[in-house]
Structure 1
């Protein structure tokens, strides 16, 4: 059983899906009903017209909650190296990987499968390495030393991703009619986490998920995905659409905290990962998170016209604890904070 071996990337080839991964019939992905290769908005951050970029970001955050960026400042070389070293890690010998295994969602580094193994009734067809990434000098020393280039490559990638995330947050703040640093000031000294995801080839992909539908609890998510194997799907107007992987692009999605800060103007939308029968898929999700004591509250500029605050004030530490105490695919956690 997979539950006994803890992770899926264990060298075993399965001809059928183990029962602990099979979703009830009404909860399956219905892959044939999802349009192929539709895309969310693509925003060129190399455009010289900053006002146009801000307008595009506002439209994408309002209407999709997801968008892709190109000419984003993260080097093509480091993106390629990041995917390569991730693949190398998941092909390490089983005993080497299992040194990092943990079922504690609050550990700053852990290898796991699914999101909350102890609470889930059905597991997800995914292994992942979760890392805390900021400040680097605090966390990088505990990262894997095998592969030998892991720490160097991941550190460089994290720095470039953080710079992009902070730039995007400034533009998103301006797109809401706020001062450029308004969101940054509310979020405080933001944490940064990473989930390096490995979705092995699956014998029966129509019966399970890599990740079921969920919204992200953080402020902003930046996803590097394998351009050869699609898997990301987004809920748009009540229907799932596939997100076509673009070369040298990064996928951005709004997290719960930006939905709350925007007073619901921008959406932390549901998304999921499906799996492939023939090929494994790798993705690298980076999360910018408010500092634990940041009080999440819509700026007065967004309620000055008489619009009530949609959510009660709360700290990020409170929200994060509640989010990880639930199953990933339960009701949107933000609903618990509605006024």
Structure 2
């Protein structure tokens, strides 16, 4: 919800008219379910170092599988990434948005979606972003990204095993040299949260998303059984989201979910998030896994290159994307 001149609203009582959504697209916050949230899964006893002898407890795999089948989202705690590093990362992102003057900040922006790092609705121009005298977060970001990549590999193994597949099945299917992308979002306090959204309804196009969010501020909501469910904040947790590549092609042929989600605003507090995306390379051929196909479960989608999916995703910009349907076999 960035404006051209500031990350703050020009008025403390109202929001600009261009941010006000039509009635049918507003969040209707009073209708959001407060009775349930997405599962929280404890990884305390799982090292996930890739050793074949390191077999996760069957109850952990059941929890992972259930969360993927029923929600497409879950949170993890005791994940092994130092809380101090996470706090430094989030502080650096907040500083990036709040401390750099708007005119100076513009030099970092590009709308090229091939860039690896995204700041709100713009992608960082890598040449400008390498200027460490202007942006101080790159060292800590490098440490953070390394930790997140290792965590993603652990999760990929667990998700594969949850489907009864070989530990490295998903990683092989995603292909060689997957990319790790970062999207940072800044949501300022909003005087009229009922009238707008911080981030429109969408699904993620990648394989796996690991999200870190500001302590104590809720904002993420996911669809469950046709209702919006608020994702409760859990201390030092990451929100895990299955992208479309896992949901309908690479892994489960429709067994696991990639669900629509959105971000709402908060009247009193700003919210900062950092999403890290594990993404196939553009040449990877995506297709349903043979072990999950039989006469009762025929393939639901055709084979395609990931570049095709990306192109379709960005072709549908500005809409409530229905990208996977473009690759679905017609009944």
TM-score, length of structure 2 as denominator length? 0.89
Does residue 233 of structure 2 align to residue 245 of structure 1? yes
What is aligned with 1:149? 136
Number of residue pairs the alignment of both structures matches: 316
Look up the SS of the partner of 2:110 in the other structure.
Answer: coil
What is aligned with 1:107? 115
The CA deviation string for residues 67-92 of structure 1, in whole angstroms up to 9 with x for no partner, is: 00011121111111111101111112
Which structure 1 residue ranges, 5 or more long, are not aligned? Answer: 114-128, 133-138
What is aligned with 2:265? 275
Does residue 216 of structure 2 align to residue 208 of structure 1? no
Does residue 45 of structure 2 align to residue 47 of structure 1? yes
Residue 168 (structure 1) aligned to one of 148, 155, 158: 155
Bigger shift: residues 28-37 or 103-112: 103-112
The CA deviation string for residues 311-331 of structure 1, in whole angstroms up to 9 with x for no partner, is: 111111110111012125424
Q: 1:59 to 1:12 in 2, by over 3 A?
A: same
* RMSD, aligned α-carbons: 2.3
Residue pair 1:140, 1:151 contacting (<8 A) in 2 also: no
Distance across 2 between alignment mates of 1:183 and 1:235: 25
Does residue 331 of structure 2 align to residue 324 of structure 1? no
The CA deviation string for residues 161-190 of structure 1, in whole angstroms up to 9 with x for no partner, is: 110111101111111111111111111121
Which aligned runs of 4 or more in structure 1 are off by greater than 6 angstroms?
none
Which structure 2 residue ranges, 5 or more long, are not aligned? Answer: 47-55
Does residue 186 of structure 2 align to residue 198 of structure 1? yes
Residue pair 1:231, 1:242 contacting (<8 A) in 2 also: yes
Q: 1:258 to 1:144 in 2, by over 3 A?
A: farther
Q: 1:71 to 1:9 in 2, by over 3 A?
A: same
Residue pair 1:220, 1:252 contacting (<8 A) in 2 also: yes
Q: 1:247 to 1:93 in 2, by over 3 A?
A: same
What is aligned with 2:256? 266
Q: 1:67 to 1:103 in 2, by over 3 A?
A: same
